[in-house]
Amino acid sequence: MRAPARTLMAVGIAAALAVPAFAAEAPHPAKQHWSFSGFFGTFDRAAAQRGFQVYKEVCASCHSMQYLSYRHLAALGFNEEEVKAIAAGVEVPDLNDEGEAVKRPGRPSDRFASPFPNEKAARAANNGAFPVDLTLVTKAREGGPDYVYAVLTGYKDAPSGFQLQPGMNYNEYFPGHQIAMPPPLSDDQVTFADNTKASVPQMAKDLVTFLSWAAEPELEARKAMGIKVILFLIVLSGLLYAVKRKVWADVH
């Protein structure tokens, strides 16, 4: 192998090994209390509805949720008329009878409207960065809800001596501490109908609750099934033990 080739290979290996160490600079997210955690955990409907409002009013201008349909919002406690109104509040692409591309009001059966028609348009509008789809983000990131909450609340001024690249923002919990997304949340950015104070930590927690439900809407049903299975196994074990004692009662 020629010397230049060996040098390039060495540089490549060094860079590959450096990535995990660079990413490990971010501190581990603090453990948060979530209503849906634990064996008996369930989603806080009020928090999830507030989180949907934060997504709709703050995040939806950049981030899609393409795997979620408006009709799914009924599971959060929105009634049929509310779901129809939410869907009708956006325009979705469609074709008319002549096959021409048109925009029409959304329907409950439609998937959440994407803010950009394609990835190139999204990158062009965000200085080359591609806003991640949020439908599965709490399942796709190590640390799950705790990590997403930490990033949402982890924006700070860069410490002295830290070289922040142009167009980047300092975030304590993002790998490398540099993130293209500016701080998305600010105090009193939204007005909640239930008069909950819209602080950054509150909005972040409500948003993460909504995103966690979106990523795993079957969580409650799965936990309920698990409880039923465990109860069934306990009863079955008791019956089997009773049968065993009855069968072997006369054996000494």
Q: Which residue has the tokens 């950054």?
A: 200
Position 252 scores a pLDDT of 62
Pull the structure tokens for residue 97: 């009878």
Position 12 scores a pLDDT of 42
Q: Where are the domains positioned within the chain?
A: 3-68+111-217, 221-252
Phi, psi of 95 (to 5 degrees): -120, 140
Position 195 scores a pLDDT of 95
First to last CA, the chain: 80
| pTM of the predicted structure, to 2 decimals | 0.82
Question: Which residues are CB-neighbours of 246 under 8 A, at least 6 positions away?
Answer: none
Assign 169 to helix, strand or coil.
strand
Mean pLDDT per 10-residue segment, the chain (252 residues): 44 39 67 93 96 97 96 96 96 87 93 93 90 95 95 95 92 94 96 96 98 94 89 92 85 68
Position 75 scores a pLDDT of 95
For the four alpha carbons of 66, 139, 21 and 25, in that order, the dihedral sign comes to positive
Which of 3.30.470.10, 1.10.760.10, 3.30.1330.10, 3.40.50.1000 is the CATH number of 3-68+111-217? Answer: 1.10.760.10
- Over the range 81-90, which residues count as b (16 or more CB within 10 Å of their CB) and which as e? eebbebbeeb
Position 16 scores a pLDDT of 40
Position 185 scores a pLDDT of 97
Q: At what angle do helices 45-54 and 200-215 cross, to 10 degrees?
A: 100
